[in-house]
Structure 1
Amino acid sequence: MERRDILRVGAVSIGAVGFSGALWKEAFAAAAQPGPGPYGPLLAPDTNGIALPAGFTSRVVARSGRKVGTTAYTWHWAPDGGACFAEGSGWIYVSNSEIPLFGGASAIRFNAAGDIISSYRILANTNLNCAGGATPWGTWLSCEEIALGRVMETDPRGIKPAVERTRLGRFKHEAAACDADHRVVYLTEDETDGCFYRFVPDVWGDLDTGRLQVLCAPAGTTSGPVTWQNIPDRDGIPTATRSQVGAALRFNGGEGCWYTGGVCYFTTKGDNRVWAYTAATQTIDLAYDDSLVPPGTAPLTGVDNITGSPSSGDLFVAEDGGNLEICVITPDGVVAPFLRITGQDSSEVTGPAFNPAGNRLYFSSQRGTSGSSTGSGGITYEVSGPFRA
């Protein structure tokens, strides 16, 4: 799907400990600005067409329509949002498939040495699975980006069947972020007049029952106090979910969503902004606005999925458009390219996620060199190297 300018935030992998919200808020009191990145300049593209800083290497771990490693499993088309989960001494990377009607999600299991030991499907026959979010109890929320879209709770290990969580609302879902401190799940909506939601479960860890609420404030609010109101009909029929509460604050194309240390950061592609919702004070602020970056200087010119380093507090933002980069945003407010995919101008970068140790970064080129969402276009990569502690 289309993504454009913005950002400055990320989503932390399962088990990760990110910078506190207070530190992030202090660091980003002013808008992040272009500057020298912590990893240095990008070198010439490697044999996989990935330009990386010195000391980093890439490998291809899966291609759409082909077997994954030595496994018998064929990787899905149009890989999109993803996350990593600890699994014994290794880990699992899950990835959505943004394909109509047959989307779903797949997983790759790695051992402690990073070898691929299995691959398998964890969700099938769902529609345009774009982004989502990992839960503290070890499941993956896979979100449908369609009108009346659903959230499906899936098992990264592929043992338990996926469960439809319609209590989280039927709308054009994009991403989800779990706030274990306040026991809610935040949700973004990819509409030009979309809303920002939270689900308050009756029992934390069980998404089967609870209240769906929408963030409310006067139109045009960019900072200050907000309130939450219950959505009367979470099924969105006959009245769309976003149209049921007149006081709801509108957001122009909700995208990534990430929670840490009391603050939920979420992005809107239509106006190239990153918002910060502080749960304790129930206030919102603008963490980034591209109109505050000098024209022609922004290294980040698109937004898609986002993630965060488990240890350094660095954020990694994948571009859809621009020059197909993943940009790093440091806690001291510097934005710089971390990697660039070359020779794939009709694609987009999706699904960035760190393994639990924080020394391997996974991501995909959704349409690869072919520019096609079907067939063998999609490519899923791993980058390893001296990520900051």
Structure 2
Amino acid sequence: MPHVVDRRGFLRGTALTMGALAMGPAFWKQALAQSPATPGVGPYGPLGAADPLGIALPQGFSSRLIAAAGTPVLGTTYVWPPFPDGAATFAQPDGGYVLTVNSEIPAVGGVSSVSFDRDGRVTGARRILANTSTNCGGGSTPWGTWLSCEEIDTGRVWECDPLGAQRAVVRPALGVFTHEAAVVDPVGKRLYMTEDEGDSGFYRFTPDRYPDLSAGILEIATPGRGETIRWVPVPDPLFQRGTPTRRQVPESLKFQRGEGMWFDTGVVYFTSTRDDRVWAYECATERLALLYDGVAIGPQAPLKDPDAICVHAPSGDLFVGEDADDLQVVLVTAQREVAPFLQLSGPLHGAETEIAGVTFDPSGRRLYFSSQRGGVATGMTFEVTGPFRAPASPSSALPPSMTGPVPLAVRAKPAARVATVRRDGLLVSVDADRPGTYAVRLVARVGGRTVTLATARRTVTAAGTFRVRARVPEQARATLARLRARRTEAQIVVTTGRRRATRPIELTRAA
């Protein structure tokens, strides 16, 4: 039976240990140590009256229309396509930036981009992807491309040049399913993806040769020990045998319409719309935490139907757009205060619209978003400027319980070839939680007993992450040679004193 992520079951499994997560920025460590999230007016105060564009903002902020579907982008001749959706910005060498925006039109899809100079003036616009379908969310990559996701049963991810100078490339290895959004973890060298279905999966992709996305292993999240996730390979990632990827691993976790995603400082934030939740997944420790639960707050919850999400880098605040409800962009602060930042209303924003593509320019001074079916029912894209917050104050000390080191953890690729391990050993990353000597072993069940196939040892003088290559001792070479199965389940075990951490890994042979 699939594991549907319901509130009570999840909280029972995790015991709400969010305060123990090493969640990146110090302000999120502090935020996660507090519970519950509390509705408030936020750091910018209450919303004022709606402006002529139908946007209500706090005092000191203003909006402008960048583009409306069916009409030229501000200051250009490029006609903006309907149904604008997922978006991101990309810094340029001249100090300007480029805004990429998906188009969620069935059977037409595509992506457009708008160029701005360093002062926010529009300098050009163009189409960078065409002839796709229902391009919904996506994500930026550290190497400067835009991943555009098709939200259809046979949806794929397209990697796009933000300026359109190079032809977009489809990336089927990332899976064929109802794609919503994607993010990249540059440290772990992996991608994470959401799926917009009522029983959607949470996916991870490990490229064979990062950052090349043409080949790799697609996995889906399943319950691990405690609050951790266990990643299991998707048997048919290309959806060639008729079973959707989300149903190919029966024990996979099921989210109620996975939507927007954002990566920041080792954490993947994502939303599930149907149950009003925001999640935080820590890549290094593979732990999942429930960051915001609108159902638990009740009818007065300021954030419902969460969809697009982004982090305002200078302050660390989360900005979340609503798919429906009362059409707000809602702010979640480090103090766990949840408050509306803007709201759409009036004849330009009817009942069919939603807030999409919430993102900041690289400086964090300008917020972009779309009213997907605003205007004449086909979409409008806006910019908001004003006194966005500066970095969080360093004087806001953490609780004593939050000052400990990152928990002991081990990381490695989910699979390795037997021949490669035998020849080169196995590269492993260890998050050391304190000074000491760390022993690394690769173990597997062979012939009814547990055997050690590779070992390494490292002594460190401080907590932190180190990499080590576990080598195959002479007496284990013959054992590796006897592994005839195409896939052998193994485990990486790290011990130091009485503490240990483990990670599953598959040893594979060529067909």
TM-score by length of 2: 0.69
CA distance in 2, matches of 1:21, 1:225: 20
**1:304 and 2:307 aligned:** yes
Shift of 1:21: 5.1
**1:224 and 2:224 aligned:** no
Q: 1:276 maps to which residue? A: 280
Query: Aligned to 2:184, which of 178, 183, 186?
Result: 178
Q: Residue 98 of structure 2 aligns to which amino acid in structure 1? A: I
1:314-346 Cα distance to aligned partner (Å, 9 max, x none):
111111212111111111111111111121132
Shift of 1:126: 0.6
CA 1:70–1:280 in 2, change beyond 3 Å: closer, same or farther?
closer
Corresponding residue SS for 1:24: helix
1:272-293 Cα distance to aligned partner (Å, 9 max, x none):
2222222222222211222221
Conservation of the 8 A alpha-carbon contact between 1:122 and 1:154: yes
Q: 1:187 maps to which residue? A: 193
Q: Residue 75 of structure 2 aligns to which amino acid in structure 1? A: T
**1:251 and 2:255 aligned:** yes
Query: Aligned to 1:368, which of 349, 362, 374?
Result: 374
Corresponding residue SS for 1:242: helix
Conservation of the 8 A alpha-carbon contact between 1:212 and 1:234: yes
Q: 1:143 maps to which residue? A: 149
**1:34 and 2:39 aligned:** yes
CA distance in 2, matches of 1:340, 1:273: 19
Q: 1:64 maps to which residue? A: 69
Q: 2:112 maps to which residue? A: 106
Q: 2:382 maps to which residue? A: 381
Q: 1:200 maps to which residue? A: 206
Q: Residue 369 of structure 2 aligns to which amino acid in structure 1? A: F
Conservation of the 8 A alpha-carbon contact between 1:21 and 1:262: no
Query: Aligned to 1:161, which of 136, 145, 167?
Result: 167
Shift of 1:177: 1.1
Conservation of the 8 A alpha-carbon contact between 1:21 and 1:263: no
Shift of 1:23: 3.9
**1:336 and 2:342 aligned:** no
Corresponding residue SS for 2:59: coil
Question: Which deviates more from structure 2 when the two are superposed, residues 262-271 or residues 89-98?
Answer: 262-271
> What are the equivalent positions in structure 2 for 1:42-81 lying under 5 Å apart?
42-81=47-86
Gaps of 5+ in 2: 1-6, 8-22, 391-511
TM-score by length of 1: 0.90
CA 1:187–1:22 in 2, change beyond 3 Å: closer, same or farther?
farther
- Count of residue correspondences: 363
Conservation of the 8 A alpha-carbon contact between 1:323 and 1:345: no
Question: Which deviates more from structure 2 when the two are superposed, residues 284-293 or residues 144-153?
Answer: 284-293
Gaps of 5+ in 1: 1-5, 7-18
Q: Residue 321 of structure 1 aligns to which amino acid in structure 2? A: A
**1:125 and 2:126 aligned:** no
Q: 1:9 maps to which residue? A: none
CA distance in 2, matches of 1:224, 1:288: 16
Shift of 1:25: 4.1
CA distance in 2, matches of 1:261, 1:112: 26
Conservation of the 8 A alpha-carbon contact between 2:68 and 2:375: no
1:84-105 Cα distance to aligned partner (Å, 9 max, x none):
1101211111100000011111
Conservation of the 8 A alpha-carbon contact between 1:255 and 1:266: yes
Q: Residue 382 of structure 1 aligns to which amino acid in structure 2? A: E
Q: 1:267 maps to which residue? A: 271
CA distance in 2, matches of 1:171, 1:190: 9
CA 1:113–1:225 in 2, change beyond 3 Å: closer, same or farther?
closer
CA distance in 1, matches of 2:357, 2:311: 12
Conservation of the 8 A alpha-carbon contact between 2:106 and 2:133: yes
Q: Residue 324 of structure 1 aligns to which amino acid in structure 2? A: L
Structure scoring higher RCO (CA < 8 A, sep ≥ 6) equals: 1
Q: 2:474 maps to which residue? A: none
CA 1:70–1:45 in 2, change beyond 3 Å: closer, same or farther?
same
Q: 1:11 maps to which residue? A: none
Q: Residue 296 of structure 1 aligns to which amino acid in structure 2? A: P
CA distance in 2, matches of 1:363, 1:61: 10
CA distance in 1, matches of 2:29, 2:174: 28
CA 1:134–1:31 in 2, change beyond 3 Å: closer, same or farther?
farther
Corresponding residue SS for 1:211: strand
Conservation of the 8 A alpha-carbon contact between 1:258 and 1:265: yes
Conservation of the 8 A alpha-carbon contact between 2:307 and 2:322: yes
**1:86 and 2:87 aligned:** no
CA distance in 2, matches of 1:349, 1:265: 18
CA distance in 2, matches of 1:354, 1:338: 14
Q: Residue 344 of structure 2 aligns to which amino acid in structure 1? A: I
Report which of the two has the higher share of helix. 2
RMSD: 1.7
1:4-60 Cα distance to aligned partner (Å, 9 max, x none):
xx9xxxxxxxxxxxx825642441232322012111111111222211111111110
Corresponding residue SS for 2:138: strand
Shift of 1:148: 1.6
CA distance in 2, matches of 1:354, 1:159: 23
CA distance in 2, matches of 1:203, 1:24: 32
CA distance in 2, matches of 1:315, 1:200: 27
